[in-house]
Structure formats: C-alpha cells, structure tokens
Amino acid sequence: MKWKPHLDSIKPYKPGKPIEEVKRELGLERVIKLASNENPMGPSPAAVEAMADAAKHVNRYPDGGCFYLRQALSKKLSVPADNIVFGNGSDEIIVLALHAFVDPENEVVVASPTFLIYHIASMIKGAKVRTVPLKDYKYDLEGMLEVITDRTRVVFIANPDNPTGSYVTRAELESFMDKIPEDVLVFMDEAYYEYASGGDYPETVPLTAREDRSVVVARTFSKAYSLAGLRIGYGIARSDIAGVLNKVREPFNVNSLAQAAALAALEDSAHLAASVALVRDEKKKFYAAFDGLDISYVPSRTNFILVDTERDSAKVYDYLLRRGVIVREMSAWGLKGFIRVNIGLSEENDAFLEVFREALTKVPAN
C-alpha cells in the first residue's frame, strides 16, 4: 500500500508526557505537569455537574449544531449565530480552514517558531509552507506580507504566540490588515485570548464582519476555561466563510459532554476570573525568581513562559523530569537551550522553582 509521498516528510506532533506515564517510568509518587499550558485549577464545578447530567444521555448522538452553546456565544460575542463554527478543539478549526481554502498548488504563510500544527496540517494538505522568522520573539507581520504571492491562501497568526507568549498589538494588526490582499484568509488563533485581552491587545471579532477582508478568529475552551480533555473550540467568521467551514466539518464533531461543560463554563464568570487572576499573580513570582537567577525569559501574555536556560535544555528537562516536574523542552521549535513552563498552582510553581534552581547548579552553563 502506497500513501501520498509528501507525508514522508512530516514529523508528527509530540504532546507533552502525561503524569501517569512519568510516574510509571520513574517510579515517582508525585509528579507536577507544567508542560501543556493547562489550567491547574481544574474545570468549573458547574461544568463538572453539567457533564454528569449529560452523561446520562450519551446513548444519543450529540446536537450536531451545538444549538445552546451557539446561542450563548452569539450573545456573549455580539455576532450572529450563523457566524460561529465549532470544532473538536480549536485545532480542528485550523484543519477546516485548510480543507476549505487550500489545494496542493497553494501556499500558506506561518511564523517560525509558532504553533506547530499550522505547518503540519498545511503539509498534510500538500501545500507549500512559507515560514517567516520571529523578530525579538515577536511576529514579523511586515516580513509575512513580503512573502505573500498569488498562490497564498492562508496566513496564520497565533496571538498570543505559542511558544513565545508574545503578541501582536492592535496598531500592528491594523497596519497588516490594511495591506493584506483581499483574497488571502487571515487566521487569528486566539487560544489564550482570556489571558491576553486588554491594553493594546487587538479585539478581532469585529474584523470578521469586514466584506473586504477574509478573517477567521479561533478560540478554545481548553485553556482558561480548563476543558482541555474535552476538546472543544470554536471559530468566528463572516457567515459565508463559516458556512463553507461547516460544509467540510465532520458531523457530530463536538461530543455532548463537551457541549454541556462548555456552556456551563461560559456562564461561570467567577471561575474564569479566578483562573486568569492566578496566572497574573503567579507570573510575577516566576519573573522575580528568573530575574534573581539572572535567567532570560520572554514576558508573556499567556499562561506560560519561555525560558532561556543558557544550558543544554535537554539535560535541564531530564533533571526536572527525574525530580517529578514535567516542562516542555523546546528543541523541536528550533529553540535550543529553552524550556517552556506553564503556570501551575502556587505550590506547584514553588516546587518547580526549587528544582529549577537545583538544575542550574547541576547542568553547566554554555
């Protein structure tokens, strides 16, 4: 059996190690996971209750249109209900956009480094991927404009970016949108929106209503809403674009437990506020600790921090792992020497910082 030859060059995405796997491998009783940008507070109690109730009816197929969640988001975002498309995580919205707009002879523009799924999913489609390096750990929007050709169909912008935590400002995005060709889809991935909003961070939902530009804004319930294990996200777009995305979407792609939990989580504003406040306050602790250690990091508008260990990051990662702390080693993103650590509970962060200080004394500096 012969598969499509271009698939041979694709390296699959490798998720962070699960807690239970590390416990089994290393014989540890306690493991702290700070590798996958998860919300350590756990889901809203209201979401857990909604899932328990929905579980009684899993013999039935889910609502293929996510009616109640759609209505709630429509009201919250002040957009027509038909302008929303739901996915099995916001990752699926990325894939739907590529299915709908990209053929093998087309091109896609991404930053480097950024969320790896843009590149992987585009290569699966057989498209040519043009990459533009970050500048000082930030998106180079002008550089991305320069590589657009008449074959370009989609430009992906992670805002804030993963893995750097940096963001595109309102003024930067406005300038970019003024120059982008009308027939190029601008895909704004805002998985960390709830942590980033405010100040000069751009509010992009109004952009989706423009008739002279094509924009998809993708968000998720995996991060601040703490429903990563349920895989539910959504996209906002003009009704014609949303309609096309729904045409290529698998039926029943969002399960009934995820829909129920997301609706309850959306309504629990207190839990969301507490989650955002935890990250805001604990990041200050990380910054102070890194400053005290004279360790460089990228200031972040997300729930994680990119850290330059100035050492062999694989050895730092391994030391942390054997002490029961899972972080993300960043060589796969071309960031040698770096780790990415997400904000955990206060006691988890204290434990990480204690072991990280040890690692700096055990692993020689470059």
Q: Give the whole-angstrom CA distance, residue 97 versus residue 246.
A: 10
pLDDT for residue 165: 98
Give percent of the chain with pLDDT exceeding 70: 100
CA-nearest of 231, 166, 224 to 191 is 224
Q: Give the whole-angstrom CA distance, residue 86 versus residue 140.
A: 29
Q: Which CATH class is domain 45-268?
A: alpha beta
In order, the DSSP letters of 194-210 are: HHH-STT----GGGGG-
pLDDT for residue 25: 83
Q: Which secondary-structure segment (H or E) carries 308? A: strand 304-308
Region 44-70: what's the mean pLDDT?
Answer: 98
pLDDT by residue (tens digit) across 169-203?
A: 999 999 999 999 999 999 999 999 999 989 999 99
pLDDT by residue (tens digit) across 74-108?
A: 999 999 999 999 999 999 999 999 999 999 999 99
The strand ranges marked E within 92-134 are: 107-112, 128-133
pLDDT for residue 244: 98
CA-nearest of 239, 181, 177 to 202 is 177
pLDDT by residue (tens digit) across 239-269?
A: 999 999 999 999 999 999 999 999 999 999 9
Region 115-143: what's the mean pLDDT?
Answer: 97
Report domain extents, the chain.
Answer: 5-43+270-362, 45-268
CATH of 5-43+270-362, one of 2.30.110.10, 1.10.10.10, 3.90.1150.10, 3.40.190.10: 3.90.1150.10
CA-nearest of 37, 44, 38 to 260 is 44
Confidence check: pLDDT of 8 > 90: no
pLDDT for residue 18: 83
pLDDT by residue (tens digit) across 275-315?
A: 999 999 999 999 999 999 999 999 999 999 999 999 999 99
Confidence check: pLDDT of 324 > 90: yes
pLDDT for residue 2: 79
